[in-house]
Chain A
Amino acid sequence: MAHALREKAAISGVGETAYTRGTTKSGLALQLEASLNAIADAGLKPTDIDGIIPYFPGGGIAEDFVANLGLPDLTLSAFIPMGGATCVAALQTAAMAVATGVCKNVLISVGRTGYSGARVSTRLQQFPQFALAAEFELPIGMFAPAQLYAQGARRHMELYGTTARHMAEVAVVTRQHAMLNGNVVMDKPLTVEEYHASRMIADPFRLFDCSLESDGGAAVIVSASDRAKSLKKPLVTIMGVAEGHPESPASIAQRPDLLEFGLVKAAKRGFEMAGVGPRDMDVAEIYDCFTFTVIRQLEILGFCKTGEGGPFVMDGRIALGGELPINTHGGLLSQGHVVGLNHVIELTRQLRGEAGKAQVKDAGLGLVTGYGDMGDGSLAILRRAA
């Protein structure tokens, strides 16, 4: 029997601001600007929004949305504190809300001044999820995600022979895709040689293995599928969606297997709900806080076996025109860092046929992942339904 949530909810609207490094706007202003763009994209009015899931901490809270958008009757206000896994996991909460009739239109939004405001290592000290790292690892010089995730990447390299060249391929292909987009922070070409010459941040991660610290906002609207059908844009339904939490969720150091992300659990549930498998995907938007994180998630999702993620990304396989085009917008590595909501937006546009120069021909089915907070994971599988 089909899962009760399968295709009951749809992405009805998407919106973004310009992605920049440098802005005088507040995170909240960016978040509201993107939200208004998403509401207009859906053909809705701000007052049609009755559920809010803002990225937290950082940016606005439900009260800000009521005050700024004049929302007459908000029926759901929720936070999903999963770092980079938040936005895709929020699709699950939103889908449950619209499928049960608690809400009609749920707004998920992010606004951040990651370049012009507080930088990553300062910001994370405010997160309760990073309390253990702050007590036991910050004092020994280990706190930024680049440092915390580097140990897992090193272990993968030692165990399976994954190389810097494999990670370079993810960075270079993602940049090629960014250059087709028109709204990206990094719009100049990147070569494999430039990757290898870039400075080391936390070995094995070089500068170009790391996602951007940038300013920008992004938003999506989730509506019940039967309601979204009569809205402005082609119907893109949520076939499957799931979140997953790893063992030892607040400490990578104590996790039995450092490479066992929460996505292991989310992927199983998400694919089961959708009733499809990895081989059915036309396009994939993979959370790319680091190049290696993409390689490992491709393994977990079942595109290849554990240990084969490095060779898998080579030879054009993940580029446009390849077997599995990924991060067709330029991702967090080259477009901008809005915690992966830009990945949800890009997948929606691909399935609507609105992806411009980066359009995957006849894209009908795709997936998007989230990864964050020491290894939480999330997966959504979307389909063009009309």
Chain B
Amino acid sequence: MSTAPQAAAPERPMPIPTRESQPYWDGLREGKLMLQHCASCGRVRHYPRPVCPHCFSLESEFKEAPLTGKLHTWTVCHHPFNFFFKAQAPYIVALVDMDAGVRINAQLHGVEAASLKIGQPLKLAFEPVTAEITLPYFVSG
């Protein structure tokens, strides 16, 4: 039995919401996928940013979007470039074409990497991490 003092657990890297992205993170905390839409031409965009690249409007609104999508591609992370993720490795990060028309990158839980196929249906889920921040992950759709 070791009596050596335990090293502090590595800190989880956390997002720092910006003035543009705050409504997206607020949505995740409430268990919703809130996506930015142009108030003028109505087109969706992600990640959040100040100007619509199609009509250059500065006005936008966040609307609730469905949680469903299809697998675009993935990786399986074995080497933990950040020490926090050492305990989780290997983990799958799935890039998903959301039915709302943007992509979301998040970990995929409960599915074997060997079984993955482009186009398979996945669904977004929510993991509360702190009082402020909830992170998304995917499960089989």
Contact = CB atoms under 8 A, between A and B. Distances in A.
A147 B118 contact: no
A140 B106 contact: yes
Contact of B76 (A140, A155, A203, A253): A203
Contact of A151 (B90, B93, B113, B136): B93
A315 to B, nearest CB: 28
B136 A203 contact: no
B95 A136 contact: no
Interface string A191-230: 0000000011111100000000000000000000000000
Contacts of B12: 139
Nearest to A125: B13
A270 to B, nearest CB: 26
Given A132-B47, A135-B15, A141-B93, A155 B78 contact: no
Contact of A155 (B16, B72, B85, B136): B72
A146 interface: yes
Contacts of B18: 135
A362 interface: no
B79 A199 contact: yes
A138 B107 CA distance: 11
Given A253-B105, A254-B46, A143 B82 contact: yes
B46 A141 contact: no
Contacts of B75: 142, 147, 150-151, 154, 202-204
A135 B135 CA distance: 11
B62 interface: no
B122 to A, nearest CB: 14
A201 B21 CA distance: 31
Nearest to B76: A203
Interface residues of A, number: 33
A155 B94 CA distance: 11
Interface in B64-122: 72-82, 84-85, 88, 90-91, 93, 95, 102-107, 113, 117-118
B89 to A, nearest CB: 8
Contacts of B107: 140-141
B60 to A, nearest CB: 16
Contacts of B76: 200, 202-203
B16 A135 contact: yes
A160 to B, nearest CB: 12
Contacts of B16: 135
Contacts of A137: 105
B9 interface: no
Contacts of A139: 12-15, 133, 135
A258 interface: yes
Contact of B81 (A144, A155, A158, A253): A144
A276 to B, nearest CB: 35
Interface in A128-169: 132, 134-144, 146-147, 150-152, 154-155, 158-159
A251 interface: yes
A254 B106 contact: no
A155 B73 contact: yes
Contacts of A155: 72-73, 118
Given A146-B79, A254-B102, A136 B93 contact: no
A148 to B, nearest CB: 9
A140 B129 CA distance: 11
B137 interface: yes
Nearest to B106: A140
A202 to B, nearest CB: 5
Given A136-B105, A254-B103, A141 B85 contact: yes
Interface in A248-288: 251, 253-254, 258
A142 B135 CA distance: 13
Contact of B78 (A134, A140, A151, A203): A203
A200 B80 CA distance: 11
A147 B15 contact: no
A316 B6 CA distance: 53
A241 to B, nearest CB: 28
A100 interface: no
Interface string A102-121: 00000000000000000011
Interface of B: 12-18, 21, 46-47, 72-82, 84-85, 88, 90-91, 93, 95, 102-107, 113, 117-118, 133, 135-137
Given A141-B93, A150-B75, 4 more contacts: A135-B21, A140-B106, A146-B81, A158-B73
16 contacts: A121-B81, A135-B18, A135-B47, A136-B15, A138-B15, A139-B13, A139-B135, A141-B85, A141-B93, A141-B107, A144-B81, A151-B93, A200-B79, A202-B77, A203-B90, A254-B103
The 10 A-B residue pairs whose C-beta atoms are closest, nearest first, are: A150-B75, A203-B76, A155-B73, A144-B81, A121-B81, A200-B78, A201-B79, A141-B85, A151-B73, A253-B105
